Structure 1
Amino acid sequence: MAKPLKIVHLDGVHCPSPTFTIPHTYTEYPNTTDLSTVASRIGDADVVITTRIPITASTLDQCPGLKLIAVQAIGTDMIDLAACKARNVVVTNVPAASNESVAEHAIALYFAIRRNITGMHEMMVQGDEWVKKGAVTSLWTGVPRTCREEVMGIIGGGELATIGRALGMTVQISERKSVAPSSTRPSRIPFPTVLQTSTILMITLPLTPSTHSLISSPEFALMRSDAILINVARGGIVDEDALVDALRENRIAGAAADVFSREPAGRENVLVREGGMGGRLVLSPHVAWFARSSIEKLRRTVVENIEAWVGGEVRNVVV
């Protein structure tokens, strides 16, 4: 009789524990904040489940029995995919696990900035400015736009286009930055044009070597001064120092981030240190994905990926 599959889950805090129908042993850690323990926790496991805990080439070398990395997320940027491919370690993920939730969170961040929700809240609870002045339109750096006046530029994909159009926005999907304007696909808009014309710039694409620091000082220089940028993708896509500079110099009107260059993000992160900038910078702790439907799909698909692999079928394979 074949031995039961040995499965280790490195950060079970994000979803309820999966339930398998195959013979197995299962060890779950709520989280693995000390990355020096990753290899020892995996040990001689056949399968490791991770949402955000990185798996490096060094870890793979210390865990030669590892055969499958089941990523319980869409993004796989924390996995050394080249090292996995070289060692014949299969990597799977959960495509489109949280598209609806992420899109809705991005829209919530949009409204928070455009309507200066946090600035108004702080004004209400910290004093009686409204009572003294009778009007507080000074909370805005300019008159807010309504949705029908917005031009939403999307760098990536997801459900945002559908929501934006339903709200009455003009929506334009960006072509890749590397594609010349003359080669732009019919359904896309050249990357520089999207930067120059959008009043909302939504970042929703994966973090890869080609998208690292995709938005930095040259890109902010092209953007409209009344534009806002919202990043619900990965922190490394937007140069955080350049973003803060753009806000300080009023090159853009506002920004929001649910993701950061290093997570969890504390005071060492420039966005966290800068605070709210009067409501012009809104932050959330990588929770755009968090919704009942997302959790159910993540939990179900991870089980399906692992059990299909055991049965000789590969699903949702990244490498």
Structure 2
Amino acid sequence: MSSFSHTGPHIVRLDGHISPVPHFPPTFTHTYTSYDRTPPDTQTIISRLADANVAITTRVPISAETIAICAKRKLKLIAVHAIGYDMVDLKACKEHGIKVCNVPAASNEAVAEHAIALFFAVRRRVVDMHNLVINTNEWAEKGSLASHFDGVPVTCRQEVVGIIGVGELGNRVANIFRSLNSTVLLSERPSCPPASTRPGRTPFVTVLAESTVIIITVPLAPTTLNLISTTELSLMKPDAVLINVARGGIVDEVALVKALWNRKIAAAATDVFVEEPAVSENSVLIKAAKEDALKGRLVLSPHLAWFARSSVEKLRVTTATNIEVWARGGDEGWNMVDLE
């Protein structure tokens, strides 16, 4: 750590409220400042990173302006305390010589299981049943609540599950559904012509048209922004359900609500939102989920699919290891993001 003072690198964490402190070994000399929450305005972020050699962020955005100013000061590394690094301007990092690292596959096991939980919640109408039991007397009055629901749900053996985003997370979800005897379709990239579809993959439009369940596990990027919108939703089956455990912005929220209202698809569930934290004032999904016509057909969770003991521990250890190996000048043993 010869490039730092005798106190080692100064590490500043911008959103410490999300998960516990990285687990640095006692032999690693450093100073550490953690802000519980940092508002997403550029000037506040720049101010908090004024003396930082390393910035740790989970969801606080680090823009090109922030990078340009902080790179002239002391910032050398942005450690993303998560899998996704879409909140960091990678082009600006490359331009100013700032390295970026993340925690690959930090929570894939937990997120895959959460995707399955959301699927069962909407397909089996669990939330709707819960609310009926505790808020009404319909069960006692009618003797059975089966007539309350439109149609009869199929079992997993009858489901055709389309996976959009076939990385480690997508493959984990696929394997779980295979174990439940579902048919699984692994989607080809939307930009790929059907004639060029790779072995083991299915053309994107075919996945949309033939699946009864669509699981979104693709990263957010310019090419995946609003990947699922009006056109794509119109291709889906009327009994299909859509599950998003990837990132907000991949599914066009306004188009999704319209598709649910018009019964173009049966149901949807998401753990992620365009704007987070999501509240009624900034989320069309939350507003829609409160409407009687969509209760039970739109299930929401607060970006906590990742939340599990294994995920938390991997985030703590890997983030710390990334920073320590980088600080000691190591070329290998840490998860540097390719800025090309």
- Measured against the shorter chain, the TM-score band is over 0.9
Equivalences for residues 78-117 of structure 1 within 5 A: 78-117=87-126
Does the CA contact (< 8 Å) of 1:119 and 1:139 recur in 2? Answer: no
Q: Displacement, 1:33?
A: 2.8
The answer (yes or no) to whether the contact 1:116–1:139 under 8 Å persists in 2 is no
Alignment CA distance shift 1:227-1:270 (3 Å): same
Say if 2:40 is the partner of 1:26: no
**CA deviation vs aligned residue, 1:67-96 (integer Å, no higher than 9, x gap):** 000001011111111111111100111111
- Output the aligned Cα RMSD: 1.2
Partners of 1:34 and 1:54 lie apart in 2 by: 6
Which of 5, 8, 11 lines up with 2:12 in the alignment?
Answer: 8
Instruction: Measure the CA separation in 2 of the matches of 1:114 and 1:19.
Output: 40
Secondary structure at the aligned position of 1:14 is classed as coil
One-letter amino acid of the structure 2 residue matched with residue 120 of structure 1: M
Structure 2 distance, partners of 1:41, 1:121, is 45
| Matched AA of 2:213 | I
Once residues 37 and 307 of structure 2 are traced to their aligned partners in structure 1, the CA distance between those partners, rounded to angstroms, is 17
Q: Following TM superposition, where does structure 1 have runs of at least 4 consecutive aligned residues deviating by more than 4 angstroms?
A: none
Q: Are 2:159 and 1:150 aligned?
A: yes
Equivalent residue in structure 2 for 1:132, among 141, 148, 159: 141
Give the Cα separation in 2 of the matches to 1:224 and 1:25: 55
Which runs of 5 or more residues in structure 2 are unaligned? none
The alpha-carbon deviation at position 313 of structure 1 amounts to 2.4
Aligned length: 319
Give the distance between the partners of 1:98 and 1:19, measured in 2 at CA: 17
**Separation (CA, whole Å) in 1 of partners of 2:188 and 2:51:** 44
SS at match of 2:220: coil
Q: Are the equivalent residues in 2 in contact too, given 1:213–1:237 (CA < 8 A)? A: yes
SS of 1:317's equivalent in the other structure is: coil
Q: Secondary structure at the match of 1:235?
A: coil
Tell me the alpha carbon deviations over residues 173-212 of structure 1, each in whole angstroms, 9 at most, x when there is no partner: 1000000110000011100010001000000010000000
The equivalent residue for 1:59 is: 66
TM-score for both structures, normalised by structure 2: 0.91
Instruction: Return the TM-score normalized by structure 1.
Output: 0.97
The residue type paired with residue 63 of structure 2 is T
Which whole-Å CA distance do the structure 1 matches of 2:207 and 2:40 have between them? Answer: 41
